[in-house]
Amino acid sequence: MKKIPIQFQSFNQIEKRKWLIIVVLVATVHLFCQTLMLPYGTALLSLLPDHENTSYSTQISNSETLEDELQEESFKVFEEVALDEIVNDTSAQNQLENDRFVTDDLRETRHELLSVDLSSNLEDGVSINNNVSNNEIKPKILEVNVNSFTKPGVNKSGDGMQARILPINEKYVLFQTDGRKRMRCLMPPKSVMYNDQMNHLLVRNRRSSRAMRPRWSSPRDQDILTSKVQITNAPSRMADQQLYAPLYRNVSMFKRSYELMESTLKVYVYKDGDKPIFHQPIMKGLYASEGWFMKLMENNKKFVVKDPKKAHLFYMPFSSRMLEHKLYVRNSHNRTNLRDFLKIYAEKLAAKYPFWNRTGGADHFLVACHDWAPYETRHHMEYCIKALCNADVTMGFKIGRDVSLPECYVRSARNPHRDLGGKSASDRHIFAFYAGNMHGYLRKILLEYWENKDVDMKIMGPMPPGVASKMNYIEHMKSSKYCICPKGYEVNSPRVVEAIFYECVPVIISDNFVPPFFEVLNWDAFSIIVAEKDVPDLKSILAAITDEKYKELQYAVKKVQRHFLWNVKPLKYDLFHMTLHSIWYNRVFQFKPR
């Protein structure tokens, strides 16, 4: 693939057009090669405009062919480019300027990192190199005498250098030093919550809801109360061929609740708010989940009601991705205006309609996949049900109220199921697989321990560039028993859904991460959750799983897959319905009668 010279800083319209032509050419050649070499029957089709606007789909296609499917974060680079074209925002170019991150303001780093990549190193999209090693904290794993220092903490020495010590296990500590200010996303969390504590919290929050009692009653309240009684008294052992019981915390309750959602639930979608931040779904890229939900919800006939008095739930259809894109001032390190924007919106709803004040927002919900969404919705949307990809208990995610939304990297908006599936359990010849960028602290630890250490552990940095490597990555996932999903900068990673997509058992290593649909799914049935501190024992943990157990896990992955798929026309139990169901289910259990 040819190198494309780009200067984003001096980016006038003519150069832009030239660039576009080159990109289209390169993309065509790239696709042509692909159709010859790879089982990509529909690859060329994706260059043609479809039902969507031409400029839109062409841009999207470019990004699609160029994007690096190996490194989720570099997807964002291309998404950025594509998005800039879609919205025709000339100011966006200014945002692409080179930047350094010397800030303590953590969530921004991902962005600034991308800017660095974009302006310095854009080849054919595969070999994007985040050369940030000079700037960031270098973690070291040291073998220590346990008795000498075991206390985690910050060690300040005289010259202002800071070191932070985090015990990994009895034998090792993670030791980080850096002269600069620390960034949260590059540091291990200060507090850690494991799965059993999360289960505990779920039970507790179910028992004693913190939601506000309605200020006055509504006829809809009775529906919710009736549903709650029916769900908690769901007849057990209800025969159902459609549901594979081990996947659920309680299949009877899930089934009953789902049926009640279908027969009862009505949602009002606020018409307030202007495009593009509201009502304009983005159907591709890393944050596509919020777009798909928005589109399918706004077009839904079954659940949506025109009369808000009939509604049990109120949906605020904004895009956290667009919010960042339109309002974040690049290099400002200041997201206050994004938060204020949503605050004003919520205040307007509260002033204009009686519904918000009735419950303090507790029957209102939002669906947002951007990393910053927890920050943007804090305080002023505190009682709302938040469906978030960044489901981090240390970032305000409330188990039992909020919904962990799966982060899905959607590559083709027309065919979101492309390449779905993988080899059978017995044909999976790679034991454990990970390839990707070294974002955050954990992946460095993972590689420190496992890169080139063990033939069974195929754990590496980004896969080498090349036309075929995209397929190579997918083939690896399709041929591996276990797909390692370590956290990146944030707790969530699209790898979890990717693993399920390719029928590989996900191994989630991300403390404080609440896995998707936590309130209904039994993640132990189809995934392995490993504590970050147990990375050194990763192999022995996986090797201890018997063949028989593995087959059960892999079978369950296949069974759970449909819950993680977006469909252009929503199907029963698919990702759209699962998201709506979890919101409904949490509302039912959080509801407090007057």
Ligand X SMILES: *[C@@H]1O[C@H](CO)[C@@H](O)[C@H](O)[C@H]1NC(C)=O
Task: List contacts with ligand X (CB under 6 A).
Answer: 52-53, 56, 88, 90, 129, 131, 149, 155, 157, 232-234, 236, 250, 252-253, 334, 336-337, 350-351, 354, 357
Q: What's the closest the beta carbon of residue 419 comes to ligand X, in angstroms?
A: 25
How far apart are the C-alpha atoms of 4 and 559, rounded to whole Å?
A: 43
Q: Nearer to ligand X by C-beta: 162 or 300?
A: 162
Residue 179 tokens read as 């002269």
Q: Give the burial string for 255-276 (b: 16+ CB within 10 Å, else e).
A: bbbbebbeebbbbbbbeebeeb
Q: Are 240 and 254 in contact (CB under 8 A)?
A: no
Residue count of the chain, please give it. 594
Residue 118 vs residues 57, 127, 379, 543: alpha-carbon distances, Å: 21, 12, 34, 40
Q: Nearer to ligand X by C-beta: 320 or 554?
A: 320
Q: What's the closest the beta carbon of residue 252 comes to ligand X, in angstroms?
A: 5
Radius of gyration of the chain from its Cα atoms, rounded to whole angstroms: 24
Q: Nearer to ligand X by C-beta: 414 or 539?
A: 414
Q: Are 484 and 446 in contact (CB under 8 A)?
A: yes
Q: Nearer to ligand X by C-beta: 90 or 452?
A: 90
First to last CA, the chain: 66
Q: What's the closest the beta carbon of residue 199 comes to ligand X, in angstroms?
A: 13
3-state percent helix, strand, coil for the chain, nearest multiple of 5: 45, 15, 45
Cα angle 225-227-232, degrees, rounded to a multiple of 5: 100
Q: Nearer to ligand X by C-beta: 201 or 327?
A: 327
Q: Nearer to ligand X by C-beta: 363 or 503?
A: 363
Q: Nearer to ligand X by C-beta: 155 or 169?
A: 155
- Partner residues linked to 318 by β-bridges: 278
How far apart are the C-alpha atoms of 218 and 548, rounded to whole Å?
A: 52
Residue 193 tokens read as 């919550």
Give the torsion sign (CA, 230, 231, 237, 238).
positive
Q: What's the closest the beta carbon of residue 245 comes to ligand X, in angstroms?
A: 9
Q: What's the closest the beta carbon of residue 409 comes to ligand X, in angstroms?
A: 22
DSSP letter, residue 407: P
Q: Nearer to ligand X by C-beta: 9 or 131?
A: 131
Find, among 284, 38, 287, 3, the residue nearest to 127 by Cα.
3
Q: What's the closest the beta carbon of residue 319 comes to ligand X, in angstroms?
A: 14
Q: What's the closest the beta carbon of residue 351 comes to ligand X, in angstroms?
A: 5
DSSP letter, residue 337: H
Q: Nearer to ligand X by C-beta: 75 or 254?
A: 254
Q: What's the closest the beta carbon of residue 56 comes to ligand X, in angstroms?
A: 6
Give the torsion sign (CA, 392, 396, 399, 404).
negative
Residue 481 tokens read as 């028993």
Q: What's the closest the beta carbon of residue 131 comes to ligand X, in angstroms?
A: 4
